[in-house]
Structure 1
Amino acid sequence: MSTSLQTHLQRHFGYEAFRPGQEDIIRGVLAGENVLGVLATGGGKSVTYQLPALMLPGITVVVSPLISLMMDQVQQMRAQRRIAATYLNSLLEPADMRAVMREIESGMYKLVYISPEKLQQSHVQTLLRKVGVSLIAIDEAHCISQWGHDFRTDYLRLPEVVQALGNPPVLAVTATATTAVREEICDLLKIKPEHVVLQSLNRKNIAIDVIPVMEESERRAQVLHQMDEWKGQGIVYCTTRQAVEVLVATYQLEGKRKVHAYHGGMNNMERMLIQQQFLSGELDMIVATNAFGMGIDKPDIRFVIHYQLPASMEAYVQEIGRVGRDGEAGYAALYYAWEDVQIHQYMIEREYPTRRQIDQLAELLRQQQSLTTEALTSIELTQEMADLLVFYAQRVSAPYRDEVDPGTELRDHADRVYAELERRKLLKQRKLAEMIRFAEERENCLRKGINGYFGETGHDYTLQCCSVCGLERSLYKDSRQSMNTGRKETSWDLRQALSVLLPK
């Protein structure tokens, strides 16, 4: 088996050897076991399901949360590895969707990438049962966990889909999973403890720098300076679209390098074009919200700058993990100010409906079969919020009765739904509090703090560690001009926020 795996790896992917954890995951999958693989960003998660897809009969279904990610991976496989792959998602026109489904039925493909929403559709499940599914791979598997930072309701419905498709082996992969998240993934997908492959998330070649700032003007000046001087290509992450657009507009007036904005407000084709320009080296930098980067397989990104504080440690680790996948030295800078915390608190409050909105939605659902955009706007709800409320109404119902309409279900269980949403809100606040603790650290190694959050003990590094242990920023610059490497103290204390977010 080992020789066969090595042969397939060399033939189809051009690699001489497996990365840590890959072979153990693949062996488990080929033995018919459900497996959870936790590999660091850049650890080669895609190979763990792409290689088995070539060796197993039938097709492998890959559940992916981002349309741009699945399209990029399918394009790469067709162009570079000649693996028969396709995708099913909401961007396909009806005629194209029917054509792809006919091709899947004919046995043309070994890999089918699909969004979790599309996988819920009965006609898609009927097709997949007919052709035979040998493996279901769930990418970004932390989305299935309510303890995760990016929970999605359609992911939580995946166990039912697995059963509907005949219970084929399941491979769940992710780069960021705390102990609680891993336990919930294993419980939902029936993964035994001995079939969890856990690799260190510590990226030894990335220097970690945290830079507090007093004022927005100070932060913008420092970041614009770094964007001009840092070596190689990089990503600048902002929390809001407005921050992205302002920073890009300012830099394009004063800066020396090629930079472009990227956020969820752009159409899909525009985002795909910008992404491709960055991957091909036509752009030096992307200034983006967290909409950019998931699944980006670019080995030579040299730096990531967080213009504002991320919402969670999981998001932060995923984003800095895009640096230095080639093993060469990389740099991650995190700027933060008190207003960053206020922005996240506002976004958390806006993300979850009020008790009154729950009642209003229940009444709308009882009055009409489908919700129009105008109807949802009238009660200040998005479609995503409405879907979340209906999902929780069904989840807390015991038992859920198909003959009861969603509006009645939501009305009858409104208090329990609201309590569930408040629990989710508190969880997000706790994750924000952990991020604040990290940013406020003055005495203990930042790398050690990151790894400890995910239950790891090691924190070794190859060149430089972090700004607490000592950091020379000039090593990552193109010019010889040195920057002030001393840490600036701020007059405010983010520890005050912890008493608000985590009341004793």
Structure 2
Amino acid sequence: MSDLLQRALSKHFGHPSFRPGQEDMIRRVMSGRNVLGLLATGGGKSVTYQLPALLLPGMTIVVSPLISLMIDQVQQLRVRSRIAVAYINSSQDPAESRELLREIGAGKFKLLYISPEKLQQPYVQEVLRRARVSLVAIDEAHCISQWGHDFRTDYLRLPEVIKKLGNPPVLAVTATATKAVRNEICDLLNVSGEDVIVQPLNRANIAQDLVVTNDEGERRERVLEMMNTLEGPGIVYCSTRQAVEVLTATYQLEGNRRVHGYHGGMNSMERMLIQQQFLANELDIIVATNAFGMGIDKSNIRFVIHYQLPASMEAYAQEIGRVGRDGRPGYAVLFSGMEDVQIHQHMLEREYPSQLQVQQFCQLLSTGSQITSEALASIDISEEMAGLLSFYTEKAAYSSKPGSIMPYDPDKALGIWQVTQARKKQKQQKLFGMLNYVQSSDCLRRSINQYFEEAEYAYTLQCCSRCGLDRAVYNRAANSEQEKKDEKPWNLRQALQILLPKR
């Protein structure tokens, strides 16, 4: 088995050997076991399901959270390796989706990327069942815990789909997960403790910095200066779309580098184009919400700036892990101010329903009426919140059969609201964990690794601002020649060609 895997790795991916943890994970799924793998960001998670897809008899499906991530990985596979691969998501028109499903049913593809929402469609499930799925991979598996209880509840329905597909082995992969999140993933996907493969989270080449600011003007001035002086490419993360737009516009007026904003309010084609321009070195810096960067394959990112406090240590670790995948020194700096916590508290209030909203939603269900956009607007509930409430009413056996009317039950409505409040409290605790990280006087590297209960705190060049940090090491003047070497003469036409599906 080992020789077979080594030959396949070299032939299809051009790697002389496996990275730590990869071969162990692959061998287990090839023998039919369910596996959870935690590999550090840039640790080669995609190979652990792409290689088995080439060797297993049927098809491998990859549950992926973002359209841009699917397209990026599919295009890379089409260029770099000989594997028949496709994706299905909401960006495709119905005719294109039908044609792809026909080809899937005919056995044309070995690897299929799909969103958890598309995977819930009965016709899609039937086509996949006929196509004989040999492996279900769940990329960025922390989304099960991070999003599954909120606006993407179809993550929690995955076991039902896997059963309908004949119970193929499952491989869940992620870069960051606390023990509590690991246990939740294992319980949901039936992964035994002995099949959890964990590699160290610590990225020794990334120096960690923390800057506490007194007002917004000071924060913006310092971040704009860093965007000009730090060696790039880089990413600046903001907590809100408004902050992205203001910072981007300000820099484009005053700065001297190629910068663009990125957030979930943009249309999907615009977001994909911006991502491809960044990958092609046509943009130096992306200013973004957390909608950007998951799974991005760009090894030479030199810095990540957090303009505001992230919502959790998990999100922070994911985002700084995008620095320095090429092994060269990288820099991560977190700016923090008193108003940051208030921003997240406000967002939490908007994300979760009040007790009155839950009661009104359940009363709406009890009428047997169709849940329309107008009906939701009348009780001030967004479609995302309605999706969350639909999931929990279903779990509470509140939803009625089609055509029937279930009487309003105030006790069940109260129970549903209490469940959503418990989830809201969990997110508040994660936010307070981030606040504790900022307020502690301990080594930043040690603090973040202790949060994930890891013991590896080694560093290569510099550790953190608590242990002593020379920021000038990461400035452009010291690295301008290497930056020029990294640039590629791509143009807009080539970026657009990458986005077009190839069949």
TM-score by length of 1: 0.92
Give SS of 2:388's match.
helix
Q: Which amino acid aligns with 1:416?
A: G
Match of 1:484 in 2: none
Separation of aligned partners in 2, 1:54 and 1:479: 45
Question: Once the two structures are superposed, what CA deviation does each residue of 1:221-247 show, in whole Å capped at 9, x if it has no partner?
Answer: 000000000012000000001000000
Instruction: State the one-letter code of the partner of 1:461.
Output: Y
Kept in 1, the 8 Å contact 2:67–2:89? The answer is yes
Q: For the Cα contact (< 8 Å) 2:59–2:133, is it kept in 1? A: yes
Query: How far apart are residue 145 of structure 1 and its match?
Result: 2.8
Cα distance per residue 1:397-438 (max 9 Å; x no partner): 39x875696975776611110010110011001000000011
Q: Pairwise mapping of residues 151-230 of structure 1 onto structure 2 (< 5 A)? A: 152-230=152-230
- CA distance in 2: counterparts of 1:76 and 1:410, whole angstroms: 52
Tell me the distance in 1 between the aligned counterparts of 2:149 and 2:456: 23
Unmatched runs of 5 consecutive residues or more in structure 1: 481-504
* Counterpart for residue 377 of structure 1: 377
Q: State the match for 2:75 in structure 1.
A: 75
Output the CA distance in 1 between the equivalents of 2:3 and 2:471.
45
Q: Which residue of 1 aligns with 2:236?
A: 236
Letter in 2 for 1:11: K
Residue 467 (structure 1) aligned with residue 465 (structure 2): yes
Alpha-carbon contact 1:259-1:285 (below 8 Å) kept: yes
C-alpha contact (below 8 Å) 1:35/1:170 kept by paired residues: yes
Matched, 1:434 2:470: no
Q: Paired residue for 2:453? A: 455
1:295-322 Cα offsets, whole Å, 9 max, x none, are 1010000000000000000000000000
Aligned-residue CA RMSD (Å) = 1.9
Aligned residues of 1:147 and 1:180 also touching (Cα < 8 A): no
Are the structure 2 counterparts of residues 95 and 149 from structure 1 closer, same or farther at C-alpha, using a change threshold of 3 Å? Answer: closer
**What code does the residue aligned with 1:432 have?**
L
- Asked if structure 1 preserves the Cα contact closer than 8 Å seen for 2:105 and 2:127, the reply is yes
Q: Given the superposition, is the C-alpha separation of residues 402 and 27 from structure 1 closer, same or farther in structure 2, using an over 3 Å criterion?
A: farther
How much does 1:129 deviate?
A: 0.8
Q: How many residues are paired up? A: 479
Q: Counterpart of 1:137 in 2: which secondary structure? A: strand
Work out the CA distance in 1 between the residues paired with 2:273 and 2:93. 20
State the distance in 2 between where 1:404 and 1:424 align.
Answer: 32
Task: Report the identity percentage.
Answer: 63
Q: Helix, strand or coil: the match of 2:117?
A: helix
1:46 equivalent in structure 2: 46
Question: 1:310, 1:10 → 2: CA distance?
Answer: 39
Which residue of structure 1 lines up, in the alignment, with residue 309 of structure 2? 309
What TM-score, normalized by structure 2, do the two folds share? 0.92
**Structure 2: distance between partners of 1:67 and 1:406:** 37
Could you tell me how far apart the structure 1 residues matched to 2:78 and 2:405 are?
Answer: 43
Compared CA separation, residues 133 and 245, structure 1 to 2 (3 A): same
The SS at the match of 1:300 is coil
* 1-structure distance, mates of 2:300, 2:149: 27
* Deviation sequence 1:3-30 (CA, Å, 0-9, x none): 1111111111111111111000000010
Checking the alignment, whether the CA contact within 8 Å between 1:37 and 1:173 is kept in structure 2 is: yes
Q: 1:148 to 1:218 in 2, by over 3 A?
A: farther
Q: Distance in 1 between matches of 2:380 and 2:212?
A: 36
- Give the whole-Å Cα distance in 1 for the aligned partners of 2:101 and 2:90: 13
Q: 1:466 to 1:367 in 2, by over 3 A?
A: same
Supply the AA of the counterpart residue of 1:41.
Answer: T
Cα distance in 2 for partners of 1:89, 1:337 equals 39
Aligned equivalents of 2:411, 2:405: Cα separation in 1: 10
Report the alpha carbon displacement of residue 143 of structure 1 after superposing the two structures with TM. 2.1
Alpha-carbon offset, residue 358 of structure 1: 1.1
Q: Does 1:415 align with 2:414?
A: yes
Distance 2:410 2:158 in 1: 26
Q: d(CA) in 2 for partners of 1:383 and 1:372?
A: 9
Shift of 1:144: 2.0
Indicate the larger mover: 359-368 or 214-223.
359-368
Q: CA deviation at 1:75?
A: 1.3
Give the partner amino acid of 1:13: F
